[in-house]
Structure 1
Amino acid sequence: MKKLWEYVKKRPLIQVVASILTNYNLRGFATGRIYKGNTKIACVPGLNCYSCPGAIGSCPIGSLQAVVGGNRYNFSYYVMGILILFGVLFGRFICGFLCPFGFIQDILYKIQIFKLKVPKKMDQLLRWLKYALLLILVILLPIFLTDEFGTAPPYFCQWICPAGTLGGGLPLILKNKSLRSMLGVLFGWKVTLLILIVLSSVFIYRPFCKYICPLGAIYSIFNYFSFYQMHIDKLKCNGCKACQRHCNMNVEVIRNINSPECIRCGKCKDVCKQGAITSGFKLICKE
């Protein structure tokens, strides 16, 4: 178990590798074309836009909207099954280690400048926004707001997703003149939203993950009973709360270490001088 944790501690390295593996079609960035190979039918774990020229798989949220809002798709069981599988195995470990857009926010937060703390009541209220976006934009609107052919656009991707704008929209527009001639108010809104999230990520730790991401909302549901778990040894814990003071996701670690907001980054474990915090897969982790 110790060797496993020593590997997991190298989180930035794992994030780099995960980002490259899900976007290794580097030729797409040069040509401005979307990869359409056989792997594109498979969902990757993290938020990674289908339209990103480098993407070799599909985004789970984009796929979920497609199967919910289209009567001509036959992958609904697969998409739901893969989301449940990822959630049951890892919970929000995926957010902390495998999501490219989460990695980008981590990098932005490392910029040496003063940081902002969202007031607790406002923070708790805003946390519910990602669940509202999941329910309304990802599920309900694609079901009920369809065209005459019984299909619906991917509302979250179309109106909100900054990962799609950054990884898909901007690279494609830079390489395709025909797309630049079609830009309008919607693209302006998406770029503005991306800029706001990028800027806020410098001052607030992972604002998109905390308040907006519907994929994080899905994985958070599984956090308490996923195979990958965090654990506090009450006999070793002296109640110093260093773990809580250093938690960038503002989790009340001592009260609920497997909170839906925990992305399993392991920072609480690193700062615990008592060695009271352990983590790993329940089947092999000795608590």
Structure 2
Amino acid sequence: MGKREIIQCITAAACNFNVSGFMNGRIFREESKAVCVPGLNCYSCPGAVAACPLGALQSACSGTVLRIPFYVLGTLLLFGIIFGRFICGWLCPFGLIQDLLYRIPGPKIEHVPGLSVLRWFRYMIAILFVCILPVAAYLISGIGEPAFCKYICPAGTLEAAVPLLFLDQSLTAAVGWITGWKFFLLGIFLVSMIFIYRPFCRFICPLGVWYGLFNHRAALGISVLEEHCTHCGICHRVCPMEATIAGNAECISCGKCTDSCPSSAIYFRNPIRYGGPTEGKNK
């Protein structure tokens, strides 16, 4: 197990250390739930001790009063400036789940057909389900709705719906077509995660879209020393995200390119040594 995997496990445990919730099926509701974690981790997961930033953003757009979520937006801005998509690779519990599923032996689709189109699909998802539909629902009916969380998010289904329905059988009476639809989507996602590396991160996740906007300039991340780069293309070939350029909006700072670059042109930047290579590698 490498450094990244250890940090992923620690982060997932820290986000979900309310162990009693997994036993009694009760959602943790203490003051820490007002704080957002960087990655995708459902608020309603019985073990969750903090809020999901995407869920908090959607919550502000639901109900009978639309609010501008300054705190959530500020938190997302801060996370983006400091981490970028480093969060996706190192600090996201749902990213860890995808990494673990991809380790299941079997055939792998390393080069996804229609990759460029699929990458744009996540921008459409973010704009439509995070921005347009919640506001449109409010304008039409007077009640906004968290469209992404309600109709798509597999993290919410896996981390919240599955354990809560298992622990509290009375909740099954409230199951409707939306729950059935989300379980169907979850099944598709889980199966695809075995054969394709992080399909949700790459083609669906709105948080990845947001953090990707900061990836080039975030304090933590991957950079390339152009004067050392020989354009051999090894970084692209070893990248599980199929990033065309190390450190671009697709890059999750997994470190495979830094370990593989024959000319040591790719490095981790950090706030202490922002201008040049950090010493050491990912593993």
Note closer, same or farther for the CA distance 1:39–1:107 as it changes in structure 2 (3 Å cut). Answer: same
Aligned counterparts, 1:80-95, within 5 A: 80-95=73-88
Unmatched tracts of structure 1, length 5 or more: 1-8
3-state secondary structure, aligned to 1:50:
coil
Question: What is the distance in 2 between the residues matched to 1:209 and 1:146?
Answer: 28
CA drift of 1:258 comes to: 2.2
CA drift of 1:237 comes to: 2.9
3-state secondary structure, aligned to 1:145:
helix
Aligned counterparts, 1:27-46, within 5 A: 27-46=20-39
Question: What is the distance in 2 between the residues matched to 1:128 and 1:73?
Answer: 28
The size of the alignment, in residue pairs, is 275
Report whether the alignment pairs 1:271 with 2:279: no
CA drift of 1:153 comes to: 2.1
Q: Report the more deviating stretch, 229-238 or 81-90.
A: 229-238
Amino acid at match of 1:246: V
The answer for the alignment partner of 2:124 in structure 1 is 132
Residues 142-162 of structure 1, C-alpha deviations (whole Å, 9 max, x = no match): 112128884322111111000
CA drift of 1:282 comes to: 5.0
Residues 235-259 of structure 1, C-alpha deviations (whole Å, 9 max, x = no match): 4333332211110110113xxx221
Indicate if the aligned counterparts of 1:229 and 1:282 stay in contact, CA closer than 8 A: no
Aligned counterparts, 1:71-110, within 5 A: 72=65, 76-110=69-103
CA drift of 1:105 comes to: 0.5
Question: What is the distance in 1 between the residues matched to 2:25 and 2:84?
Answer: 34
Indicate if the aligned counterparts of 1:236 and 1:274 stay in contact, CA closer than 8 A: yes
Question: What is the distance in 1 between the residues matched to 2:187 and 2:112?
Answer: 23
Unmatched tracts of structure 2, length 5 or more: 277-283
Identity among equivalent positions (%) equals 43
Question: What is the distance in 2 between the residues matched to 1:187 and 1:74?
Answer: 27
Residues 248-278 of structure 1, C-alpha deviations (whole Å, 9 max, x = no match): 110113xxx2211111111100112322211
The answer for the alignment partner of 1:161 in structure 2 is 153
CA drift of 1:72 comes to: 4.5
Question: What is the distance in 1 between the residues matched to 2:211 and 2:227?
Answer: 30
Q: Report the more deviating stretch, 200-209 or 227-236.
A: 227-236
Indicate if the aligned counterparts of 2:16 and 2:47 stay in contact, CA closer than 8 A: yes
For the aligned residue pairs, the C-alpha RMSD in angstroms reads 1.8
Amino acid at match of 2:252: I
The answer for the alignment partner of 1:3 in structure 2 is none
Indicate if the aligned counterparts of 1:50 and 1:57 stay in contact, CA closer than 8 A: yes
CA drift of 1:200 comes to: 0.5
Aligned counterparts, 1:45-56, within 5 A: 45-56=38-49
Q: Report the more deviating stretch, 231-240 or 211-220.
A: 231-240
Indicate if the aligned counterparts of 1:200 and 1:207 stay in contact, CA closer than 8 A: yes
Q: Report the more deviating stretch, 131-140 or 36-45.
A: 131-140
CA drift of 1:178 comes to: 1.4
TM-score of the two chains, using structure 1 as the length reference: 0.90
Question: What is the distance in 2 between the residues matched to 1:42 and 1:286?
Answer: 32
CA drift of 1:164 comes to: 0.3
Question: What is the distance in 1 between the residues matched to 2:208 and 2:226?
Answer: 29
Q: 1:251 aligns with which of 226, 243, 247?
A: 243
The answer for the alignment partner of 2:183 in structure 1 is 191
The answer for the alignment partner of 1:144 in structure 2 is 136
Question: What is the distance in 2 between the residues matched to 1:224 and 1:68?
Answer: 29
The answer for the alignment partner of 1:5 in structure 2 is none
The answer for the alignment partner of 2:108 in structure 1 is 115
3-state secondary structure, aligned to 2:138:
coil
Note closer, same or farther for the CA distance 1:29–1:205 as it changes in structure 2 (3 Å cut). Answer: same
